[in-house]
A and B are shown apart, each in its own frame.
Chain A
């Protein structure tokens, strides 16, 4: 069974510091991978996605993620955190070559940005 693991339920950084949110997947075939952001009392908004093209994916708001097959990882980074980046971030995966095509989500990482 596929799973998505996000290391660290809470991450706190200072404004201007590097943001690194970790995500690992477990499936023999690399899935499609996504990062979503959720602000309080809102739905989810797509930050970026990996669909077997370039391994370094750039998204909105200055975020990017690198797919590493050898590490089964898809970590999210941003060089310089802004206060407005404070939110919940979810990594998600969609299995390829299966009958079921729906997103499986990680448990989420709450990002706090300190002034």
Chain B
């Protein structure tokens, strides 16, 4: 069973609000990722990290930001939520190359 947790599972919030999606893992993985997934669609990498104080942007441009102050924690922040941010956000973590990435349950964000 994967030990990676995302909170909240569901979030409905008004336009212009600041939000932080939490992701934590207890497996000691150095690599962590955020993917964005619209319903029934593919996953797009928006952020990743190779370790503490390392963050990189992914393939899909995103207005969100991330931080990696602790190995186990990789929160994603939107300073001002907009309806276009409505989507599912999946966090994942892994050891180095060729190893399985473990996924959290996801956060389904709706901005109204």
Contacts and interface: CB of A to CB of B under 8 A. Distances in A.
B106 A94 contact: no
Contacts of B43: 44, 90, 105
A51 B98 contact: yes
B33 A102 contact: yes
B100 A34 contact: yes
A103 B103 contact: no
Given A42-B106, A43-B103, A51-B98, A102 B48 contact: yes
Interface string B67-110: 00000000000000000000000101000111011111110100
A88 interface: yes
A108 B40 contact: yes
Contacts of A88: 40
Interface residues of A, number: 26
A67 B106 CA distance: 30
A55 interface: no
A90 B42 contact: yes
B47 to A, nearest CB: 10
B10 to A, nearest CB: 9
A101 B96 contact: yes
A34 B43 CA distance: 14
B90 A44 contact: yes
Nearest to B108: A41
A32 B33 contact: no
B37 to A, nearest CB: 9
A58 interface: no
A46 interface: yes
Contact of B100 (A42, A43, A49, A102): A49
Interface of A: 32, 34, 36, 41-46, 49, 51-52, 88, 90, 94, 96, 100-108, 110
Interface of B: 2, 31, 33, 35, 40-45, 48, 50, 56, 58-59, 90, 92, 96-98, 100-106, 108
